[in-house]
Structure 1
Amino acid sequence: MISLTSPVRTGAHGWPAGVKLAALCVATVVLFARADLAFQLTAAATTLAVTLVGGWTFARAALSALWRLWPFVVLVVLWHGLTGAALDGAVIALRLLTAFLLANLVTMTTTLSQMIAVVMRVAAPLTRLGVNTRALALGMALVVRFTPVLTDKGTALTDAWRARSHRRPGWRIVIPFAVLAIDDAEHMAEALRARGGTTP
């Protein structure tokens, strides 16, 4: 669902990772605490303006990721429209888009090593309870790293199907996609074992 670190440098690249992640948490809580359309429109416009500050190349990469959300946005808007709660649907759709764009901005301006360092620092007290914080941080990094990879592979499978058939791919690519995901997971597990695993 989320982009990797952008090669296009912005001012936000130099901000501490902990500050950006904390700001993301606070912003997300505020977004879900407010249910008025005017606030959600303002939040979306502000987030878009912040994205454009990084330049057109940076903004285009950030905004292109929003395309992955269109099925969810359409579903939310249609459902609430059919149930007579179109205003609520608009609020939820804007909230979803804004939260996603904010999270994407954080990952685009923060390296995985910086995010892992923050997670390790915040979770340090849990080591006294026997929690393997290294595995926790690694799990988060893998989710951020492989979500766009799997998305790209799903897109490639869909394109390959469409090139060979006039029918919609639908559920037919689920099994090959699952096989690809399992294969990637096995390769990653082997690589981790070769490097000592997640043992602190």
Structure 2
Amino acid sequence: MISLTSEVRTPYHSWPAGRKLLGLCLFTVAVFYLEQSVAALLVMGAVACAYLVAGRRFARQGLRLIRPVFWVSLIIMTYHVLTRDVEAGLLVCMRLATAVAAANLVTLTTALEDMLDVMERLMARLFIGAKIRRRIALSVTLVIRFIPELTRKGGTLIEAWRARSTKKFSWKLLLPFALLALDDAEQVAEALKARGGVE
């Protein structure tokens, strides 16, 4: 679980991690400045094509990771339907899906170690001490890695609830979700300890 890098080799795997992360930051900012639905749809289509270039198997992995965005989009669209601003809701949902898909693309094609190196080099330029750099870089990278994994597990919990009950999922799912998160955190902690911890 400590790495979500796709086992399917793609042209993107060989791209430098620093450039991918910088490109992701600039791309995400640009996406949320899109004001026209047509432009947002074209950009979303371009991201989808980027997945398809790497093959159907890789595209399916990306599709699985973006599924939880559907539920968030459903909430957003419900609000905008009630406020009678459907077009704005569609624009927000397309921006969100595009940004998450792009982030997943970088996550799937960038090794954890490469992300750590980029973070450390960035902080070295800010004259932050080596020990603090290592800890901050590890913390940030683990957050990046945990978010899609926890999102996927949350979606699985909801699907399991629906398969066993006709009622809507409720706050009662928070406890098993928290236990899953703690279990993952414990596994990562044990893995780090086995490798000598963080200096």
Common fold, TM-score beyond 0.5?
yes
Question: Aligned pair count?
Answer: 197
Which residue matches 1:88? 88
What amino acid maps onto 1:70 in structure 2? F
Which residue matches 1:115? 115
Instruction: Report Cα offsets for 1:170-194 as digits up to 9, x if no partner.
Output: 2222223223323443454455456
Identity of aligned pairs, percent?
A: 43
Q: TM-score, normalised by structure 1?
A: 0.84
Indicate conservation of the 8 Å contact 1:126/1:133, yes or no. Answer: no
User: What secondary structure is seen at the aligned counterpart in 2 of 1:9?
Assistant: coil
User: What secondary structure is seen at the aligned counterpart in 2 of 1:8?
Assistant: coil
Counterpart check, 1:41 vs 2:41: yes
Displacement, 1:131?
8.2
Unaligned runs of at least 5 residues, structure 1: none
User: What secondary structure is seen at the aligned counterpart in 1 of 2:125?
Assistant: helix
**Which shows bigger deviation, 140-149 or 154-163?**
154-163
Instruction: Report Cα offsets for 1:84-107 as digits up to 9, x if no partner.
Output: 221111111100000011111111
1:139-150 matched pairs, under 5 angstroms: 139-150=139-150
1:115-134 matched pairs, under 5 angstroms: 115-128=115-128, 132-134=132-134
Distance 1:103 1:163, change over 3 A: closer
Displacement, 1:144?
3.1
Distance 1:133 1:175, change over 3 A: same
User: What secondary structure is seen at the aligned counterpart in 2 of 1:12?
Assistant: helix
Instruction: Report Cα offsets for 1:82-137 as digits up to 9, x if no partner.
Output: 21221111111100000011111111111111111111111113344798111121
Instruction: Report Cα offsets for 1:65-89 as digits up to 9, x if no partner.
Output: 1211111111111211221221111
Which residue matches 1:31? 31
What amino acid maps onto 1:172 in structure 2? K
> In structure 2, how many angstroms separate the alpha carbons of the residues matched to 1:38 and 1:159?
33
Which residue matches 1:55? 55
RMSD between aligned alpha carbons? Answer: 2.6
